[in-house]
Amino acid sequence: MPSKNEEDKRNQILEALNACLQNKPFDQTSIKEIAKAAGVNHGLLHYYFKNKEDILIHYIDYVINHYKRMFTDWLNRPEMEGHEQKKRISAFFLFMNERITLNKALSKVFIEIWEIAAYNPSVKAKLRQAYREWVDTLAAMLQRLIIDPDVSRRISTAIVAFLEGMALFSIILEPDEAEFQKILAGFQEKIVDML
């Protein structure tokens, strides 16, 4: 059972990796660099984690959980209740845009995670699970407006795919932020109209 302090130190290391991943991909980031970013001796990383891959695995869990928490915290806000369903979906899009799709640091990290997942089956399984949960949540929201559950699931998948594509573009296209928001808004408006 990890003590509170141990947990803190581990998170400190994972945060350091997060910072490093803004500059270099994981494979080009050495244990010593992560340690330096964390302000600890490199030997400690082997004390808290089995090996470099183990740091990565814990990091990916950390990121996925972090963003899952962000998501559920938002969903459980008291303000969420009592609203009309279409309003809720619009609010959801607004939240997604601001906190996730347009969060460049997060998007950059996710591009890295996609690549890792593409070659690492166990990471892929974790990421798949996270995306499934996200799609399911969205499908549940759409369910009240669309009768066919298969259809609402397909639309949800398409919406999430679109958001991930936009996250990618926010990094690769170096777009004008205002223009980018218009694309998101315009698209999402069309989705809401369509429902």
Partner DNA sequence: CATGAATGAGTTTTCATTCAT
Partner DNA sequence: GATGAATGAAAACTCATTCAT
Nearer to a second copy, 73 or 178 (CB): 178
Among 98, 151, 177, 195, which residue sits at the site for a second copy (rule: CB under 8 A)?
151
Residue 106, CA distances (Å) to 2, 50, 111, 135, 170 in order: 27, 26, 9, 19, 11
- Asked whether position 36 contacts a second copy by CB under 8 A, the answer is no
CB atoms within 10 A of CB 39: 9
Q: Could you tell me the two tokens for 108?
A: 């950059």
CB of 96 to DNA, least distance (A): 34
- The option from a second copy, DNA, none interacting with 30 (CB < 5 to 8 A, set by class) reads DNA
* Nearest residue to 101 via CA among 174, 184, 157: 184
CB of 68 to DNA, least distance (A): 27
- Asked whether position 90 contacts a second copy by CB under 8 A, the answer is no
Nearer to DNA, 51 or 72 (CB): 51
- The single-letter DSSP state of residue 97 is I
- Asked whether position 74 contacts a second copy by CB under 8 A, the answer is no
Nearer to a second copy, 12 or 108 (CB): 108
Q: Could you tell me the two tokens for 62?
A: 């950390």
Q: Could you give the CA distance from residue 61 to residue 130 in angstroms, rounded to a whole number? A: 10
CB 183 within 8 A of CB 176: no
CB of 76 to a second copy, least distance (A): 26
Nearer to DNA, 23 or 85 (CB): 23
